[in-house]
Structure 1
């Protein structure tokens, strides 16, 4: 399990969860800016339009596992935890052609518990990924007291639209996120380029 990658490079990694918002302008934005992201997709949220995320995948962005229906894993039995991971793993592998390498529990809940660790190991992902910062609408929420990015930090965002972003679009939120990163002198790198075979 990890929430940052050890590196001296002044880079951070952008991860986007769930998949509720499927804004075509966001695909255009990533195509133009060539900013890499890692997508942690929830099967039941994306199954009505797997194709949207295939367009993002075609840009070199990786698809990872974020459960079947966004359950709060610490509140469900181990068998349900296993099905949340395994069923999503199977569906995402089938739709996107490669097995998700990483898993993120919704809300970060249940991470590093024996039941979830066992489920992840049985179902195929190689590691559980959390985060150091999360993107709100206009700024980031930091875990560190000094409210600064550090090399190798993993930043969490969500596929969200105006309904969840107080009228802002996904592209506006993402533009704000990139501005906050650049203001601190960081670049965005591809997470998968910096990890080899992390242990769960």
Structure 2
């Protein structure tokens, strides 16, 4: 079990990339390494044009740890009007996380250091009356590679959740399955008996868990490792062209196809009311002149956001005390809420990089590490006009490969609130107040309401003790 990397403060201060080509050729490899889900350097053909920041009332539901002994990061989108689909995703994520915590995070369990749970999302369609989401899961505690993908659809016209097979009309599913089997037969690693079993009446729905449309209207079906072929062969991908698949589509399938190929630009799922998150308007009046050689400084850092409404509430608290902090943001959340990241920068806070979807970077290839960080830096720059200079490696996991893959400067911490484990505002506040020392770097998370609720007491008490709240870069520069 790898221990969290905690060093004295002065020392501190010194996509699942899977082959998704639109063809029915060789199977894509699943040997991308653990926790790489959602780490691709560019969107697939299936989700071009989906800008999550345009989805009114979007809430990204996240739950992350920052501890190497129990590494997990989960997220899924909650879209107003699509509550039925959100409920299905919520159930899936909570069940996977509960099982992971019981098996991999239990006190005294002999956990392999490769065990990590990462669930991230990608929008497949968000237009008209159609919503499509893919959840990508990497579970190091599961059998085999632990990689799996599932797609979740919402039909705004009928106001109902649609599982992936619902894209195909009932009367044409046999023809559809026959064509898939035809495309798969003869590929390396495919066993005829296993293939038939995967598509029998009891297994078909699970087998067809990942279905989405390509930019030209084809239907892309991906099969997890070991489902239709031997595990060693990896995942399999079949893409049926638009001319073949369109006659087989259900009414909803045809609308989903149309909204993927020619998105209308607006999403209307029949939500009666969508509330846009309040965005604080505070602006930094000047550069920070605090001299940390002369006064007691402390750097509060907040990971995993931005989150609505928690980050906005936090910014309001910080403005009251003229405190400056550093936010280590997750790229997929920056893309969903760039307005909150702009508000952070406008108020004089520092915005750092915390990867695209929170994988353990030490388990990724140099190319995947670079993709995780560069995508996030690009999202931050798009939101604020400025590229970050700092990054916090998820779980504090860093090695020479990670360092060599980026020019960003790593930042760890010496006060860990463990606020992800203890959702208790009073406890979180007391941890910071008790452990605070001159030049401390404090780890917190702005995705947890209880952590945000702890901040006023922290600011009030430590300000009375003579502490000044500064960004990490300011602390480094003035020591």
Q: Provide TM-score, normalisation by structure 1.
A: 0.77
Aligned to 1:152: 439
Aligned CA RMSD, in angstroms, stands at: 2.7
The answer to whether the Cα contact below 8 Å between 1:10 and 1:152 also exists between their aligned partners in 2 is yes
1:185 & 1:160 partners in 2: Cα distance? 28
Stretches of structure 2 lacking an aligned partner (at least 5 in a row) = 1-6, 15-291, 420-424
More moved, 6-15 vs 175-184: 175-184
Aligned to 2:380: 92
The answer to whether the Cα contact below 8 Å between 2:334 and 2:380 also exists between their aligned partners in 1 is no
Deviations 1:32-87 (A, max 9, x none): 22110111111112311110121121111121111111111122222211211122
Aligned to 1:56: 344
Q: CA deviation at 1:18?
A: 1.1
2:323 & 2:472 partners in 1: Cα distance? 11
Stretches of structure 1 lacking an aligned partner (at least 5 in a row) = 163-167
1:90 & 1:187 partners in 2: Cα distance? 31
User: Greater RCO between the two (CA within 8 Å, min separation 6)?
Assistant: 1
1:178 & 1:118 partners in 2: Cα distance? 37
Q: How does 1:1-200 map to 2 (within 5 A)?
A: 2-4=11-13, 7=293, 9-23=295-309, 24-109=312-397, 111=398, 113-121=399-407, 125=408, 127-135=409-417, 136=419, 137=425, 138-139=427-428, 148-162=435-449, 168=450, 170=452, 172-179=453-460, 181-182=462-463, 185-196=466-477
1:183 & 1:118 partners in 2: Cα distance? 42
1:151 & 1:42 partners in 2: Cα distance? 28
CA shift in 2, pair 1:92/1:173, >3 Å? same
More moved, 132-141 vs 77-86: 132-141
Aligned to 2:121: none
1:155 & 1:100 partners in 2: Cα distance? 19
Q: CA deviation at 1:192?
A: 2.5
1:52 & 1:189 partners in 2: Cα distance? 19
Indicate the SS of the match to 2:435: coil
Deviations 1:71-128 (A, max 9, x none): 111222222112111221222122211110111101111x2x111011122xxx2x10
2:360 & 2:304 partners in 1: Cα distance? 13
Indicate the SS of the match to 2:406: helix
2:338 & 2:318 partners in 1: Cα distance? 18
Q: CA deviation at 1:132?
A: 0.6
Count of aligned positions? 181
Q: CA deviation at 1:7?
A: 4.7
The answer to whether the Cα contact below 8 Å between 1:149 and 1:184 also exists between their aligned partners in 2 is no
1:3 & 1:36 partners in 2: Cα distance? 18
The answer to whether the Cα contact below 8 Å between 2:353 and 2:377 also exists between their aligned partners in 1 is yes
2:435 & 2:448 partners in 1: Cα distance? 26
CA shift in 2, pair 1:34/1:120, >3 Å? same
1:155 & 1:173 partners in 2: Cα distance? 13
Q: Provide TM-score, normalisation by structure 2.
A: 0.35
Q: CA deviation at 1:4?
A: 3.9
